[in-house]
Amino acid sequence: MKLRISLLLALSVMLTACSSSSDEELSSAVLNDAALLYEQAQGNIAAGNFTNAQRILRQHAMRYPFGPYAHQVQMDQIYVNYKIGDLDKALAEVDRFMQLNPNHPNLDYVMYMRGLINERSDSNTLQEWVGIDRSDRDPSHAEEAFKDFGALLRRFPESRYASDAKQRMVAIKSRLAKYDLSVADYYVKREAWLAAANRGKYILEHYPDVPEAERALAIMMDSYDALGLNELRDDARATLQTNFPQSRYLD
């Protein structure tokens, strides 16, 4: 009886050891496959084959949603979809990542990508290529991009992406100022002088350091003159003279 029990115990130990060994081998195989698949995706990204990379990353996410590469795969999917031009999907992936991983060590990168996505959504490559100025187009994506980069700088002022974000904010300010100038010009053409003056004032208050401020001051000067508000007209002219002494609007 004792011998039978001993044999059963020994067999149990052997089966447990075999099971443990099989689990370890399976786990190792899964990790190796996940690593290989991820390397394939990275190779395609490096080569600029973003469509192939997108397909491989999608496979990786489906097979190993909780694996060691899960977060990196999600960030790579954001980048790849941005490069392909699938901006709505990229933006949705950014928002989902930020919601689920609010303290991730690479959150600054994801916030930076959100700004890039919105900035690109604002652009029209065809119009820019043929030289068509559409400053009057809806600026909502540009406004979102400006907010995104600003949020990045406030939360991660020392981020490696901070310098580029600052430069992009300067360009976006100019874009937004041009939009407001197009609105002011619309009011000028219809002789809605008060609305035109107020739009010019808005530009000075929100984007005082952009080149478009020169035209905004000129609109204010002409609008106040048309309204008979001579003191405000002279103030606008003096500001124009100080900041843009060579302005053609002073003639």
102 and 89 Cβ atoms separated by less than 8 Å: no
Span 38-54, pLDDT tens digits? 999 999 999 999 999 99
Closest CA to 80 of 60, 38, 50, 106: 50
Instruction: Report the predicted TM-score, pTM, of the whole model to 2 decimal places.
Output: 0.81
Residue 185 pLDDT more than 50?
yes
Residue 135 — φ and ψ, nearest 5°? Answer: -65, -15
Residue 13 pLDDT more than 50?
no
Span 210-224, pLDDT tens digits? 999 999 999 999 999
**Least reliable range by pLDDT among 19-33, 154-168, 211-225:** 19-33
What are the domain boundaries of the chain? 25-84
Helix, strand, or coil here: 216? helix
